[in-house]
Structure formats: C-alpha cells, structure tokens
Amino acid sequence: MTSRIANTSDCVIHCSRLPEYRAPFGALATGSTVELNIDAYVTVDEIVLCYAYGLYGLSYNELRCHKNEKVPNRWSCRLRMPAEPGLLFYWFCIRSKDSDIEAIVDPQYHNLLYRKFDEGRTYLYYVASWEGKDGKGKFAFSAPQVGVFEEKYPHAFQITVYEEGFVTPDWMKGAVMYQIFPDRFFRGSDYSFAKMEETGNSRLERIFHEDWDEDVDIDGKPQTGYLACDFYGGTLMGIAEKTEYLQSLNVDVLYLNPICEARSNHRYDTADYMNVDPILGGKQGYKAFSSVMHDKGIRYIVDGVFSHTGADSRYFNKYGRYEEPGAYSAFAEGKDSRFASWYSFRRGENGAVEYDSWWGFPELPNVKEDDLSYREYILGDHGVVAGWLRGGASGIRLDVSDELPDSFLREMRSCVKKASRGDGLVLGEVWEEVTTKISYGNYRDFAFGRTHDTVMGYPFREALISFLRGETDAHTWCLTMEKYRENLPDQMYYCMMNLISSHDVPRAITELAGPPDPGSREDQKKIVLSKHMKSRGAALMKMAFAVQMLYPGCACTYYGDEIGMDGYRDPFNRRTYPWGKEASWQKDLLETFRALSGLRRQYGVLRCGDIRMILAESDDLIFERFLDDEGKDHFGTPCEGPKKILCILNRSDKIKLLVQMDESARVVAVEHIADIFSGTGDTKCVISSLEAPVNKVEVRPLSVCVYIIK
C-alpha cells in the first residue's frame, strides 16, 4: 500500500534488522527485553506500539511510545518478552488529528483512513513489509491480522520468543551433512544376492535387481502394481566401506533414511522398530557400521517414523506375517494384542474393518501418539529412541514432524537429550517457515526451544533453486534469507539443515537445468538431460554448492548430488550411485564440491561466523562471512584462520561481472560487460586466498568466486 501514500514512507521509519530501531536483533529468549524505536518526521500526537503474543492463543495489548530525549523525531518503548515461548507480533499505530494524518496520505485515499470519532483523531498504521530493505516497514490503512484463521495481511513485525537456555548441539552448527538412501548407495562386502532373494520368500511383491545399474522399477509385479518394493541390496556395511569417500567430501554427519525392518525399499512403513532390515545387514551389520563410523569420526542420525507404521508390521500385522497377534486381528477377530490401543478402528456400513491411515494410504495405518503405551514403547527409558541413541546414533530425524502432537515432540526432545546426555539432535521434517507454521488449528511449538533443535531447510532450497533458475532475482533471495535469519533463534539458525535435494523432491540439477516435470512416471523415465543441460546444470550446481557451504547452517547434500545425479520425483530421485562410471563433467563437479566443503573443514569462520549481505541485485549476489575484531564467531568462540570469506556469484549467462575492491578487500563498485555462456564447460568456481589487495575481480557468466581474506 506504499503507493497510496503521497509522501514517501521515509517520513516514518522502523527497520527491524537495524540495531538503532530494534535491539537486540532477531529472536529473543523468554524474559529478555527489547528496545523498539520509530522515527516520525511528521507531526503526530501519539505513536502506540500494538502487539499480540502467545502460541495456542494470542493476547492483544498496546504500549504508548514516548519521545526520545536524545534523538530528535524518535519515539521509543521498551518491552519485556513473555515468560513462555511463543510468537510476538507487533506494529505501530500513528494517531493524530485528521489534518496531520491526511497530510501523509494521498487525498484520493482519505476515505480509507480509520477515523476514531470519539477521540477526534485519525489512525494510520505502520506495519512490516517483506520487501523492505533492513526490515523497513510501510504504511497500511488497517491493523495486521495475525490470528491463526486470519489472512495475515497486512503483515506484522515478528519476534520469535524461545525458551531461555535453549541450546543445540555444537557439532551440528556449520556441519557438512550427507543424506543416504541406504538401498541405493553401495553394496558392501556382506551383500549377497541370494540372501536378498530369500527375503522375498514371504514377501512376493518384492523385485530384486541383480544389475546395480538397472533403472528403478515403476510398475511393480502384475498382481500387486507399484509398491516401491524393488531392491538393489545396498547395505550399511557398504556405507561403512565408503568412509574414505565420505571423508574426501569432508562429511561430518550422515543422515540415513529409515533402516528399520519394513516392507518397502524406502522403509517409511515400519515393520519392526527394534530390528534393522535384514537386507541392510541386520543388527550385526548395523553394529559393524556404527563401530566404523565412530572410529572414523563421522556421526550419523537415523530416520524415525512415529506418526504411522506399516500395515505389514508386527504391531498392526494385517497380513498375519508375524506370530504375535497385532492390532488388526485384535479388532477384527477379538484376539488379545498389546498393540491394540495404538490404532483407531471402526466398522464400515458393510461391516468391513476400517481404520485411520496416513493421508488415506491403507498400507500406512496412523498410530495414536497420545496413547501412553505407545509413548512408553517409543520414548521410554528402554524404548526405541533411547535404544538407537545408546547404540551409536547422534540424533533422530522425525518424519512428518508437523503431524505429531506438540506434547509428543516435547517428550521426544526430553528423551533424546536424556539418552544422549544432552548431545543428541532432534531434526524435524517441516517444509514451511518453521516459526509460524500452522497445523491442526494452531501455531506449532517447533522453533521455541522445547521440541526441535532444527528442521529441514526447505525454504532455503526453494529460495535458492528459484534464484538460480532465474525465476526470482538476487534481491528476492536476500530478502527471504534475511527474514529467515531474523525470525529463527540463533541456536537453530546455525544448524538449520540447508538442502538442495532430498528423497522427496526432484534432483537439484534436474530442477535447475532440466525440462519441466512431464507428470507421469512413464514420461519422467523417458527424459534424459542434453549435453547443454548438463553443462548449464553443472555450472548452476557449483553456485548452489557455494551458497550452501558459505551460508550459515548445516549444508546437507543428498547422495549423488555432488556428481550431478539427475531425476524427477520418487523413484527417479532414488537411483543407485554410479560408482566408477562418472563422466568427466561429473568428476569436475565433484572436485568443486570437495573444494567448497573443504573450506568448512578448514575455516571456523564458515561454521559459526556472522554473515553480511553486500550486494543483491538482479543476477549479482555478494555476501561475506566474518569474525569480529578479536577473531571470535557469533557465539563468542575464538576461531583460527581468516576473519573474512567473500562470495561473489554471477547468475547471468550473458554478462561478465567486474567487482572493484579497495585495499581492505571491501567491494566499492561493480560493472557489467557482455559475455555469453558457451555451454562448453567454461564456467568456474574460483577459490583463492587474498594475501595482497586486488583491484578487480572478474566473474564469468554462471560462475562464482570465493576469496579467503587473511
């Protein structure tokens, strides 16, 4: 609505990311205090801070600002944060006589102003603008709507209020993570095709690939149809036997898709939480894997699926595969089962057995997470989660975390911290902006220090992919990331799982350079990236890796992305790793990945150093990570090595970027020169150390330069 204001919005200013207007910056601990300032270069009677806070319900209040005696035209107030974690939304209401407010607003919009006739005054609101630099706000004719069921417009400024004392594992902050889909990574020395085939004796729907390079199945067996039940025989020992490769990628922690016994290859249909899938090597293979990871200094987290189980599981046991009666037969036949209370059953109109299932899939019956016997089984001192952590895992990734009750998640966090002596990680699958995530009619307790340590960074992925594809510009990317930084608690922000691919989305190179998703699996299977697509895609992947590795958070790479494996959605994003068959362009991409991930291993500034956006316009993105004058990071920890690392990225495929720097390696000017990307692999990721001043830096089209500034 800024366009409806006659005078520019600079006549009133509040920038939520600048310390002169809001201090301290960003999310705040419970009970802490924030100083809020707003400058008004117009005549007004009163400026009132309006705020609403809470989580499961919001309380609305007002606080009158006072004129600042030290700074002319400034109005100020001081606000203590609530004692309970949650959200605090705020905005300003400017109140004055009609003529004062009308002087700000274009006459043709005077009829939109809110008149308080009993006061003889007119109100004008100052609200958040997601397009505003440094969090600068704008005018609005009505107050923001912030309730769960309201439309959220106009926007309010936000302060995330987290539990005092909230800390996340230091090993996750700035880590390099590598995600592995176990069946498709590597067949270990314990692999046997005959043993794998034996598991199909009782599971006739299974398909076994003897040829590692054979494409994924999309049809299933004629009698069953597609059930994601084709297997290649990757094992946990296969992962362990590739530790030298993982170390060459500078991996700190592995994230494993589910490894519990299950019917399908993805194993999100858990059959037995207490048993490792025999195809992966069983319990003995897991113990050997865990021992190797410990010896090599590589942590790992496991995938926990606690909103549902498989219908073909020892708990539900719909098909009678397990000896002990399950919940299904307890309801259908009246048998006694210790799992009977875990699920919700009913009889249909025709008397058929019906039950709640995940998104309507009958093979994935929902569990009742509030059932205390289920909670004891999963979260008890001798339960599933404690067992995995004591067995060597460093944390749990929670599948569909936003579908689990907040009380279950709070108990989960307590269980993980107790079993790991405070060092374990709780990572949630939440796709949306985590601080204001709404589901089941409430803002959710995800980012306030009581449930998760961190979540999967899908907003990071979406913003980066969109920018590199040219759908948005650098300015939009910057605004998105700065909002991300402002709203997240520091402890969560520095260990956010920033990914560019996963098992649930198309491969990054396909998203960046491939044709649009054709829809059906049959059509997806037919598409092969052309030589030009691969060349362009590799260049864009290098830039994606650079941003991933240089931006704060945990940089997560989905196995094979480091060599540009392609594919659309499941199952094509879950193909086998092509060991020994990498093309030359893939080897080049791999070396770039190693160089960039190596920077994190080598320089503390990239782990927990602060970030500063220098330039974000059109195709040009320049930002830096830095330590303070004493060589300390964001958390006050002294770091060895350089105090600053500069990233200069040129997304254009038609323009060369020239960056002018002064003697202190500060960017002072940029210019552009026509230069067209040839598509012959001439793009670069330049990494160099600045021992002496450099006048100009040249960044070719679709290229990135990284400067380590001593």
Nearest Cα residue to 193 out of 226, 233, 133: 233
Q: Are 119 and 107 in contact (CB under 8 A)?
A: no
The CA-CA-CA angle for residues 385, 386, 391, to 5°, reads 100
| Catalytic annotation, pick one of 399, 453, 566, 624 | 399
User: How far lies 686's CA from each of 540, 543, 662, 674, 699, in Å?
Assistant: 14, 11, 20, 20, 9
d(CA 278, CA 276): 6
List 400's β-bridge partners, or say none. none
Give alpha helix (H) positions in 571-643: 584-602, 605-608
Q: What is the SS3 assignment for 528?
A: coil
Q: Are 208 and 197 in contact (CB under 8 A)?
A: yes
Q: Using CA atoms in the order 242, 246, 247, 250, what is the torsion angle rounded to 10 degrees? A: 180
CB atoms within 10 A of CB 153: 12
Annotated catalytic, 429? yes
Nearest Cα residue to 55 out of 142, 154, 137, 163: 163
Q: Residue 667 contacts by C-beta under 8 Å, 6 or more apart in sequence?
A: 614, 615, 622, 646, 659, 660, 661
What tokens appear for 83 in the block?
């004692």
CB atoms within 10 A of CB 696: 10
Q: Residue 211 contacts by C-beta under 8 Å, 6 or more apart in sequence?
A: none
d(CA 682, CA 538): 11
Q: Are 562 and 593 in contact (CB under 8 A)?
A: yes
Nearest Cα residue to 307 out of 404, 381, 230: 404
User: How far lies 333's CA from each of 346, 364, 373, in Å?
Assistant: 13, 20, 22
d(CA 375, CA 70): 57
Phi and psi, residue 2, nearest 5°: -55, -35
User: How far lies 507's CA from each of 469, 517, 535, in Å?
Assistant: 14, 11, 16
Q: What is the Cα Rg of the chain in Å?
A: 28
- Tokens 């040249």 sit on residue: 698
Number of H helices, E strands in the chain: 17, 37
Q: What is the SS3 assignment for 333?
A: helix
Q: Are 142 and 194 in contact (CB under 8 A)?
A: no
Burial group, residue 120, by CB count within 10 angstroms (0-12, 13-18, 19+): exposed
Phi and psi, residue 204, nearest 5°: -70, -15
Nearest Cα residue to 622 out of 640, 597, 648: 648
Give alpha helix (H) positions in 391-473: 406-419, 458-468
| Catalytic annotation, pick one of 429, 482, 486, 511 | 429
d(CA 83, CA 29): 9
Q: Are 273 and 378 in contact (CB under 8 A)?
A: yes
Annotated catalytic, 399? yes
**Which conformational region is residue 298 in: left (phi greater than 0), alpha (psi within -120 to 50 degrees), or beta?**
beta
Say how many Å lie between the first and final Cα of the chain, rounded. Answer: 46
Burial group, residue 260, by CB count within 10 angstroms (0-12, 13-18, 19+): buried
Give catalytic residue positions: 399, 429
